[in-house]
Structure 1
Amino acid sequence: MKFLTVIVLISGVIISSCGTRKTAQSDTSSSKKGKKQEQPHSQAEFPYIEAFHNGMRLKIKGDTDAAIEAFNKCLEIKQNDDAVYFALGQLYSLKNQYQQAIQMVTKAYELDPKNIWYAEELAVLNYDTQQFEKAVPYFKKLVEHEPTNLSWLYGYGDCLLRTGKVDESIQVLNKAEDVMGKNPSLSLEKYNLYMSLKKEKEALAELESVLVEYPKEPQIIATMVDHYFKKGDMNKGVDFLKQLVDADPENGRAHLALGEIYRQKGKTAEAFNEFKAAFQCQDVDVDTKMSLLISLQDTPLASAKETAELIDLMILLHPEDAKSYSIKGDYLMEKEDEQGALENYRKALQYEKKQFPIWNQVMLLEYQSSMWEELYTDSKECLNYFTTMPIVYLLNGVSAVQLKKADEAIDVLTIGKSMVVNDKKLEAEFLGQLGEAYFTAKNYKEGKQFYQDAVKLDGESNLLKNNFAYRLANAKTDLELALSLANQAITKSPQQPNYYDTRGWVYFKQEKYEAALADFLKAYELDNQQHLIAEHLGDVYSKLNQKDKAVEFWEKAVQLGAKGTIIEKKIATKTYHENLD
């Protein structure tokens, strides 16, 4: 009930008026009874009086059905007592039988049309049953009887509005304003009514007049902001928006809107000041903050220190929300701080285990950093929440292969492959990793078959060809096939250092050391930060009896991260030793 809501906000009288009405009605009834008691009752009236009093007692006791029955007995004796009909109307209203209630009160009103409380009851009953057209004449009578009763004025105005009589509704509200003076809520109602009539000038005048008395009223200022932005008058809209954040500093939405305007104008410092203020307001939830921070990621401000300050503020205000840490992870990824990003993504997982994008970021970062133990543990836990995601099975399989858990890798990769649907590249990845697993288990026949199936399914994948070639070289089997695969990969991607390293390794196994040296040097030229390439250079220099060169590159490999007893033995003995793994 639009107007009744306003009544509650402004005067709080419409509900209490019911109590007033009943009290007044009781007074009226008492007055009537007083008049009747001045006259002696005949013997014939006693049954009626007894039935009436019995009905009243039952009504007071709350025995509604029995009270209705008692008052109906009254009507059997006398059919023209308005008080009985009114009492029946109230009882039917208590039973939510509103149409019967209206019928009874209408009968009471017809018998005593001067009784203002009957008119009020009919006004309210028709209003509550949304029969606004029928309520209008009763409200009209009420306000004519008491022009300063705000409850009746608002009810009348609302009924007129709901029956399409907007101009008349405004006139009634003007009378209410005469009674109570300027009021922001009332002015907003009048503004909306004027706008519905397309009387923009009068609508604005209404808001401007109330602002004179209430210059800091947030609702009025906010309406002005909205009005001018809808009109496209950005200058006035922004002016009122500034007034709004001044008048209502806890209005986070206003701070956000002003901040966005500053951002569009290139006023970065001012924009972030407003954003920070918005973040500390109660009406801006986590998702809204997240949306703003995500929008900043696609701009030059993505890695700005002010963005970091906003993110840290979000973490401070929402320390147990995964979104706080996931957005910090995104920010650090933008800054190329992968370790910091990983730490924050893991922190996010402490509070939210069922968001796959967070798991995905964690696992991919671990994969890219060759953190096989961590990837193995995390991918296995992720499978508890995402049992139908093939990529999780693939990453778990990859980490199991790297940790020499060949049998476990074969099991998980086989399950994951069965879940791939209409994705040849992903299926080829699974086949390739199954090839890796079988090679790790030294089952070269099965490993070769899976790799061949993978290359057949995705013939464009240079990575599959390169890995297959490297596995064949390590196993010292089908070296001509390995050389062919390595050549195909280099032809397609001539700037990829790992492909030269692989072909060099094939030559090394074929004991073609000069050719191997040329490829290893090319790989090192393209990327001098991979410890495996440096180690291979040491290996080939050893075979070429250049021991000092060999030791130089083996030591370089250790500096780059190479570990294990084999390379330590190479350096100690200045001699190549084969890794039998």
Structure 2
Amino acid sequence: MIRSASLLLLVLGLLAAEPGYAQQKRATDKAGTEKPRKLTRREKKEMQRQAALEAAKAQQQSQLTEKDREMSAAYFVDGVKYMLLEDYPKAQERLLKAYQIDPNNAAINYKIAENNLLIGNLKDAANFAQAALRLDAKNPYYYLILAQIYATQKQYDQAAQVYTRLIQDVPESKSYLFNLADLYLAQGKLNEALSTFDQAEKEFGTLDEVSFKKQQIYLKQNNLDKALKEGEALISANPEDIRYVLAQAEMYAANNRLPDAIRVANQALRKDPENPQAHMILADAYRQQGNQAESEKQIKQAFQSPALGIDQKVRILVDYLKQLPNPAVQQTALELADITTRVHPKEAKAYSVAGDVQLLSEKKALARDNYLRALRLDNSHFKIWQQVVLIDAELTQTDSLLRHTNQALELFPNQAVFWFYNGVGHMFAKQPQKAVKALEQGKKLTTDNPELAAQFDTQLGDAYHELKDYDKSDAAYEAALTFDANNAQALNNYSYYLSLRGKELAKAKELAGKLVKLFPDNDTYLDTYAWVLYKSKDYAGARQYLEKAIKTSKDGTVLEHYGDVLYQLGDTAAAVEQWQQAKKAGGTSALIDRKIKERKLYE
């Protein structure tokens, strides 16, 4: 009798709880009384199946002793504890022991499914979740875990079917319409998602999140009018929330509705006059309209706001960097860089990007100052140190180059580039011995970089020459040219120094001749070749190349050389005139005054 009573209660409960039935309008006769509705074959079959399950469950439960129930419950609690501790193997062991005692317990099946899901055993997870659902079709959590298992395996259709059953079969479960709609979105089923969101709105009214998602769907469907309509609804429903106004303005701008974008962005500024996003939208819209002055004004106003984050400002400035050097954008880029450092004085990246803008705008000293400010805030950036020493070297600022390379070497002792420029700095300072020490140390770090090793060899050739260690100087140049036979600095200095020493003039002529073939208009290289010819007593040839060089060069050394050649060719007056011009230009030999005074060549 107990079993019969429970079965009767189950059937009555199923009839009462079935959401599909509750939602249907009952047919009424003319007198207004309800007509009984016949159950469909499917409904009858489902009722029979549930009744059979409940009967089997009741029978099995009746066969369990009190001790069995206690043991199963103990294993179950133990398993849940281990799941909380994330010891999933022990949790699985305990839960399966509980299952062996009480296999028709829906909660045990559910927890085994959950544990299998956590360890990635999706097949077993699905089987146990389905069992839990068969045993208790009114528990929403059993539907949810089964849907999650399907979704994890990208079986979105099955997951959607589970959500649909949940919404139909379990009372008070309409909130899962949102999950179902999101699932459709994940599959790209936009129409189904829209339909489901519409159902949710009928149940719960208009919701901002739903309106926003519908708007995104309309955009994907290229239905701009409906997307804009949803946006206007969001603005009307949230008159004080500027986010929706800005989103609407961006939508207009993205779809080339520029007057509307400007109108709505200004609407946002009336609510928040300093809003940087509104200014950025206006800047972009005016730029597309060709109103460059207004666009620049708006972007500068946006940059004045700390609310426009440093990362976004850096991204914008990087876009400007890609256009430099370009006079049309250079001034704006420089002003935006200055604003960025002023608004974000404690951000290293603000000074770093400002330095990049200034460097590409040929404002090297300013760039170096900003790089140094960045390093004072964060000295860990190798590339910024590298930029600093490169600028020092380009500006030939010896003290700065030595100071900054020494600082960099304290942080990056294994970076060859800093040893290289430290050596260059000592060469600038007329300290060839220290230069050799730095260059030899740095060269040891170039074993896997033959190109960089060749640059070290070129500098070592210069340094050893200054020390009058000519064998090592020649060997260094030879090593550099072995790697790169067209190394201009090595070709130039090696041939010039050979000519100064009066050694291997044929080789010097070959090296310098190759150089002027590679760079026929370079006045320095033309002077080198001319001087090799001069040392070879080919004065006419030397004159030819020097006359070409002085067309573009006002260097004192070149002019002095030209005077020497003219003297050797017997034109003393012209020689003295060139020596006088050379003295005015500077950079001449120590004999220049004597040459002028005595109108005679001294070497």
TM range (shorter): 0.5 to 0.7
Q: What residue in structure 2 maps to residue 294 of structure 1?
A: 318
- C-alpha contact 1:466 1:502 (8 A) present in aligned 2: yes
Q: What residue in structure 2 maps to residue 162 of structure 1?
A: 179
Counterparts of 2:356 and 2:227, CA distance in 1: 47
Q: Deviations over 1:297-328 (max 9, x none)?
A: 34445654333322222232133444444444
Select the residue among 476, 487, 492 that pairs with 1:461.
Answer: 487
1:60-99 counterparts in 2 under 5 A? none
1:25-64 counterparts in 2 under 5 A? none
Find out whether 1:450 has 2:467 as its counterpart. no
Q: What residue in structure 2 maps to residue 562 of structure 1?
A: 587
Select the residue among 274, 290, 295 that pairs with 1:266.
Answer: 290
Q: What residue in structure 1 maps to residue 123 of structure 2?
A: none
Counterparts of 1:458 and 1:270, CA distance in 2: 53
- C-alpha contact 1:401 1:440 (8 A) present in aligned 2: no
Mark the CA change 1:301 to 1:516 in structure 2 (over 3 Å): closer, same or farther: closer
- C-alpha contact 1:428 1:457 (8 A) present in aligned 2: yes
| Aligned-residue offset at 1:442 | 0.7
Q: Deviations over 1:366-425 (max 9, x none)?
A: 333443443333333333333343333333323333433333322322333333356544
Counterparts of 1:200 and 1:460, CA distance in 2: 61
Matched length:
450
1:58-457 counterparts in 2 under 5 A? 158-162=175-179, 186-192=207-213, 205-212=229-236, 214-215=238-239, 217-225=241-249, 227=251, 236-237=260-261, 239-299=263-323, 300=326, 303-420=329-446, 423-457=449-483
Q: What residue in structure 2 maps to residue 482 of structure 1?
A: 508
Counterparts of 2:234 and 2:463, CA distance in 1: 78
Counterparts of 1:229 and 1:278, CA distance in 2: 17
Counterparts of 1:335 and 1:346, CA distance in 2: 18
Counterparts of 1:288 and 1:268, CA distance in 2: 21
Judge which range, 394-403 or 237-246, deviates more. 237-246
Q: What residue in structure 1 maps to residue 561 of structure 2?
A: 536
Letter in 2 for 1:380: N
Q: What residue in structure 1 maps to residue 19 of structure 2?
A: none
| Aligned-residue offset at 1:428 | 2.4
Report the TM-score when normalising by structure 2: 0.61
- C-alpha contact 1:302 1:331 (8 A) present in aligned 2: no
Counterparts of 1:527 and 1:401, CA distance in 2: 24
SS in 1 for 2:380: coil
- C-alpha contact 2:250 2:281 (8 A) present in aligned 1: no
| Aligned-residue offset at 1:435 | 1.8
Instruction: Give the CA RMSD over aligned residues.
Output: 4.7
SS in 2 for 1:526: coil
Counterparts of 1:406 and 1:238, CA distance in 2: 65
| Aligned-residue offset at 1:432 | 2.1
Q: What residue in structure 2 maps to residue 526 of structure 1?
A: 552
Structure 2 unaligned residues grouped into runs of 5+: 1-65, 67-79, 86-94, 96-105, 108-138, 149-161, 182-192
Q: What residue in structure 2 maps to residue 15 of structure 1?
A: none
Counterparts of 1:539 and 1:369, CA distance in 2: 31
Mark the CA change 1:326 to 1:223 in structure 2 (over 3 Å): closer, same or farther: closer
Counterparts of 1:550 and 1:320, CA distance in 2: 61
Counterparts of 1:491 and 1:438, CA distance in 2: 27
Aligned residues: percent identity? Answer: 26
Mark the CA change 1:466 to 1:196 in structure 2 (over 3 Å): closer, same or farther: closer
SS in 2 for 1:363: helix
Mark the CA change 1:403 to 1:187 in structure 2 (over 3 Å): closer, same or farther: closer
Q: What residue in structure 2 maps to residue 24 of structure 1?
A: none
Mark the CA change 1:330 to 1:576 in structure 2 (over 3 Å): closer, same or farther: farther
Q: Deviations over 1:322-379 (max 9, x none)?
A: 4444444444444444444444444544444333443333333333344344333333
- C-alpha contact 2:509 2:532 (8 A) present in aligned 1: yes
SS in 1 for 2:468: coil
| Aligned-residue offset at 1:459 | 1.4
SS in 1 for 2:446: coil
Counterparts of 2:311 and 2:593, CA distance in 1: 53
Q: Deviations over 1:416-448 (max 9, x none)?
A: 333335654433222222222221111112211
- C-alpha contact 1:431 1:453 (8 A) present in aligned 2: yes
